[in-house]
Chains A and B, each alone.
Chain A
Protein backbone atom coordinates (compact mmCIF):
# COMPACT_ATOMS: atom_id res chain seq x y z
CA UNK A 1 0.00 0.00 0.00
CA UNK A 2 1.29 3.40 -0.91
CA UNK A 3 1.79 5.36 2.28
CA UNK A 4 2.82 8.70 3.60
CA UNK A 5 4.16 8.70 7.14
CA UNK A 6 4.61 11.79 9.26
CA UNK A 7 6.88 12.12 12.26
CA UNK A 8 5.09 11.37 15.46
CA UNK A 9 3.64 14.24 17.40
CA UNK A 10 2.43 16.25 18.96
CA UNK A 11 5.16 18.83 18.54
CA UNK A 12 5.48 21.75 20.93
CA UNK A 13 7.82 24.69 20.33
CA UNK A 14 8.21 28.11 21.97
CA UNK A 15 7.21 31.23 20.11
CA UNK A 16 9.99 32.41 17.82
CA UNK A 17 11.57 28.98 17.46
CA UNK A 18 11.88 26.82 14.35
CA UNK A 19 9.35 24.02 13.98
CA UNK A 20 10.47 21.03 11.93
CA UNK A 21 7.92 18.68 10.41
CA UNK A 22 8.94 15.55 8.55
CA UNK A 23 7.34 13.11 6.20
CA UNK A 24 8.42 9.97 4.33
CA UNK A 25 6.65 8.35 1.41
CA UNK A 26 6.71 4.92 -0.18
CA UNK A 27 5.31 5.62 -3.65
CA UNK A 28 8.12 6.55 -6.02
CA UNK A 29 5.41 7.51 -8.51
CA UNK A 30 4.48 10.53 -6.43
CA UNK A 31 5.51 13.57 -8.40
CA UNK A 32 4.61 16.43 -6.12
CA UNK A 33 4.22 16.97 -2.42
CA UNK A 34 1.98 19.27 -0.49
CA UNK A 35 1.88 20.65 3.01
CA UNK A 36 -1.55 21.56 4.30
CA UNK A 37 -2.46 23.29 7.55
CA UNK A 38 -5.71 22.34 9.24
CA UNK A 39 -7.18 24.20 12.16
CA UNK A 40 -9.53 22.26 14.41
CA UNK A 41 -12.92 21.81 12.76
CA UNK A 42 -11.79 23.44 9.53
CA UNK A 43 -10.81 22.24 6.09
CA UNK A 44 -7.18 21.84 5.00
CA UNK A 45 -5.53 24.87 3.48
CA UNK A 46 -2.44 24.70 1.31
CA UNK A 47 0.81 26.13 2.69
CA UNK A 48 3.28 24.97 0.09
CA UNK A 49 3.92 22.42 -2.61
CA UNK A 50 7.19 21.13 -3.98
CA UNK A 51 8.07 18.82 -6.85
CA UNK A 52 11.78 19.37 -7.45
CA UNK A 53 14.62 18.10 -5.28
CA UNK A 54 15.96 20.73 -2.93
CA UNK A 55 14.49 23.59 -0.99
CA UNK A 56 11.61 25.92 -1.68
CA UNK A 57 11.07 28.97 0.47
CA UNK A 58 7.97 31.09 0.94
CA UNK A 59 8.13 33.63 3.71
CA UNK A 60 8.61 31.84 7.03
CA UNK A 61 8.09 28.44 5.44
CA UNK A 62 10.67 26.22 3.74
CA UNK A 63 9.82 22.90 2.14
CA UNK A 64 12.54 20.38 1.38
CA UNK A 65 12.31 17.37 -0.92
CA UNK A 66 14.79 14.51 -1.24
CA UNK A 67 13.49 12.02 -3.78
CA UNK A 68 16.38 9.60 -3.30
CA UNK A 69 15.55 9.29 0.41
CA UNK A 70 11.80 9.67 -0.21
CA UNK A 71 11.70 12.40 2.38
CA UNK A 72 9.82 15.68 2.60
CA UNK A 73 10.05 18.27 5.34
CA UNK A 74 8.58 21.62 6.31
CA UNK A 75 10.40 24.18 8.42
CA UNK A 76 8.51 27.02 10.03
CA UNK A 77 10.77 29.84 11.17
CA UNK A 78 9.84 32.37 13.84
CA UNK A 79 6.89 30.20 14.89
CA UNK A 80 3.81 32.09 16.08
CA UNK A 81 0.91 30.93 18.27
CA UNK A 82 -1.28 31.28 15.16
CA UNK A 83 0.78 28.49 13.57
CA UNK A 84 -0.70 26.06 16.10
CA UNK A 85 -2.61 23.54 13.99
CA UNK A 86 -2.40 20.09 12.47
CA UNK A 87 -0.01 19.88 9.53
CA UNK A 88 -0.76 17.34 6.83
CA UNK A 89 1.80 16.07 4.36
CA UNK A 90 0.40 14.70 1.09
CA UNK A 91 1.88 13.05 -1.96
CA UNK A 92 0.33 13.78 -5.34
CA UNK A 93 -0.13 11.03 -7.90
CA UNK A 94 -2.02 10.62 -11.15
CA UNK A 95 -5.03 12.87 -11.76
CA UNK A 96 -4.10 15.00 -8.78
CA UNK A 97 -5.05 12.36 -6.25
CA UNK A 98 -3.55 13.01 -2.83
CA UNK A 99 -2.28 10.45 -0.33
CA UNK A 100 -2.20 12.05 3.10
CA UNK A 101 -0.15 11.32 6.15
CA UNK A 102 -1.85 11.11 9.51
CA UNK A 103 -0.90 14.67 10.42
CA UNK A 104 1.30 16.25 13.07
CA UNK A 105 -0.20 18.50 15.73
CA UNK A 106 1.92 21.58 16.30
CA UNK A 107 1.53 23.79 19.35
CA UNK A 108 3.43 27.07 19.58
CA UNK A 109 3.40 28.34 23.15
CA UNK A 110 4.07 31.98 24.09
Chain B
Protein backbone atom coordinates (compact mmCIF):
# COMPACT_ATOMS: atom_id res chain seq x y z
CA UNK B 1 0.00 0.00 0.00
CA UNK B 2 1.73 3.18 -1.20
CA UNK B 3 -0.16 5.65 1.05
CA UNK B 4 0.66 9.26 0.13
CA UNK B 5 3.19 9.73 -2.67
CA UNK B 6 4.86 13.06 -3.41
CA UNK B 7 7.03 13.96 -6.37
CA UNK B 8 9.64 15.25 -6.76
CA UNK B 9 11.62 14.72 -3.56
CA UNK B 10 14.01 17.59 -4.25
CA UNK B 11 13.90 20.57 -6.58
CA UNK B 12 15.86 23.74 -7.15
CA UNK B 13 14.00 26.58 -8.85
CA UNK B 14 15.18 29.93 -10.05
CA UNK B 15 13.32 33.05 -8.96
CA UNK B 16 10.31 33.60 -11.18
CA UNK B 17 10.03 30.00 -12.39
CA UNK B 18 6.92 27.92 -11.85
CA UNK B 19 6.41 24.30 -10.93
CA UNK B 20 3.84 21.79 -9.75
CA UNK B 21 4.33 19.54 -6.76
CA UNK B 22 2.48 16.30 -7.22
CA UNK B 23 0.60 14.42 -4.51
CA UNK B 24 -1.34 11.19 -4.87
CA UNK B 25 -3.00 8.95 -2.30
CA UNK B 26 -4.45 5.49 -2.74
CA UNK B 27 -6.48 5.27 0.46
CA UNK B 28 -9.66 6.82 -0.97
CA UNK B 29 -9.45 9.68 1.53
CA UNK B 30 -11.69 12.65 0.94
CA UNK B 31 -9.56 15.11 2.88
CA UNK B 32 -6.20 16.23 1.53
CA UNK B 33 -3.81 18.96 2.64
CA UNK B 34 -0.68 20.81 1.71
CA UNK B 35 1.62 22.02 4.48
CA UNK B 36 4.97 23.76 4.41
CA UNK B 37 7.66 23.49 7.04
CA UNK B 38 10.39 26.08 7.37
CA UNK B 39 13.62 25.16 9.20
CA UNK B 40 13.12 24.68 12.93
CA UNK B 41 9.42 25.36 12.72
CA UNK B 42 6.16 23.48 12.77
CA UNK B 43 4.01 22.89 9.72
CA UNK B 44 1.72 25.56 8.31
CA UNK B 45 -1.35 24.80 6.21
CA UNK B 46 -1.28 26.15 2.66
CA UNK B 47 -4.45 24.69 1.10
CA UNK B 48 -6.82 21.86 1.79
CA UNK B 49 -9.54 19.93 0.01
CA UNK B 50 -12.55 18.04 1.34
CA UNK B 51 -13.28 16.24 -1.91
CA UNK B 52 -12.91 16.34 -5.66
CA UNK B 53 -13.68 19.82 -6.96
CA UNK B 54 -13.61 21.45 -3.49
CA UNK B 55 -10.60 23.36 -2.23
CA UNK B 56 -10.02 26.15 0.26
CA UNK B 57 -7.22 28.31 1.57
CA UNK B 58 -5.27 27.58 4.70
CA UNK B 59 -3.06 29.85 6.77
CA UNK B 60 -0.40 30.69 4.12
CA UNK B 61 -1.94 30.42 0.61
CA UNK B 62 -0.27 33.38 -1.11
CA UNK B 63 1.85 32.38 -4.08
CA UNK B 64 0.23 28.95 -4.43
CA UNK B 65 -2.69 27.36 -6.23
CA UNK B 66 -4.29 23.95 -6.05
CA UNK B 67 -6.79 21.84 -7.90
CA UNK B 68 -8.56 18.59 -7.09
CA UNK B 69 -10.05 16.93 -10.12
CA UNK B 70 -9.96 13.41 -8.66
CA UNK B 71 -10.10 11.91 -5.18
CA UNK B 72 -6.57 10.57 -5.57
CA UNK B 73 -4.61 13.64 -6.74
CA UNK B 74 -4.01 17.03 -5.18
CA UNK B 75 -1.28 18.99 -7.00
CA UNK B 76 0.18 22.23 -5.64
CA UNK B 77 1.19 24.89 -8.15
CA UNK B 78 3.85 27.51 -7.43
CA UNK B 79 3.70 30.50 -9.72
CA UNK B 80 6.59 32.99 -9.92
CA UNK B 81 8.77 31.28 -7.32
CA UNK B 82 10.31 33.51 -4.64
CA UNK B 83 13.09 32.79 -2.11
CA UNK B 84 10.47 32.93 0.65
CA UNK B 85 8.98 29.73 -0.78
CA UNK B 86 12.12 27.79 0.03
CA UNK B 87 10.77 25.14 2.37
CA UNK B 88 9.85 21.51 2.77
CA UNK B 89 6.37 20.75 1.48
CA UNK B 90 4.25 17.95 2.88
CA UNK B 91 1.07 16.56 1.44
CA UNK B 92 -1.28 14.69 3.76
CA UNK B 93 -4.57 12.88 3.56
CA UNK B 94 -7.08 11.47 6.02
CA UNK B 95 -10.55 10.07 6.25
CA UNK B 96 -13.39 12.07 7.76
CA UNK B 97 -14.13 11.80 11.48
CA UNK B 98 -12.91 12.96 14.89
CA UNK B 99 -9.38 12.10 15.92
CA UNK B 100 -8.57 10.39 12.65
CA UNK B 101 -4.91 10.06 11.71
CA UNK B 102 -3.54 12.12 8.86
CA UNK B 103 -0.99 10.31 6.71
CA UNK B 104 1.90 12.35 5.37
CA UNK B 105 3.90 11.99 2.23
CA UNK B 106 7.70 11.95 2.35
CA UNK B 107 7.97 15.62 1.52
CA UNK B 108 9.42 17.77 -1.24
CA UNK B 109 12.44 19.88 -0.40
CA UNK B 110 12.28 23.01 -2.54
CA UNK B 111 15.00 25.62 -2.84
CA UNK B 112 14.42 28.88 -4.73
CA UNK B 113 17.61 30.67 -5.77
Spell out A's residues near B (CB within 8 Å): 4, 31-32, 34, 42-46, 49-51, 88, 90, 92, 95-103
Contacts and interface: CB of A to CB of B under 8 A. Distances in A.
B102 A96 contact: yes
Given A96-B94, A97-B33, A97-B58, A46 B102 contact: yes
A49 to B, nearest CB: 5
Contacts of A46: 101-102
Contacts, number: 62
Tell me the dominant secondary structure on chain B's binding face.
loop
Given A32-B98, A49-B99, A102-B41, A43 B48 contact: no
A95 B106 CA distance: 22
Nearest to B103: A46
B42 A101 contact: yes
Contact of B90 (A44, A50, A95, A99): A44
Contacts of B107: 42-43
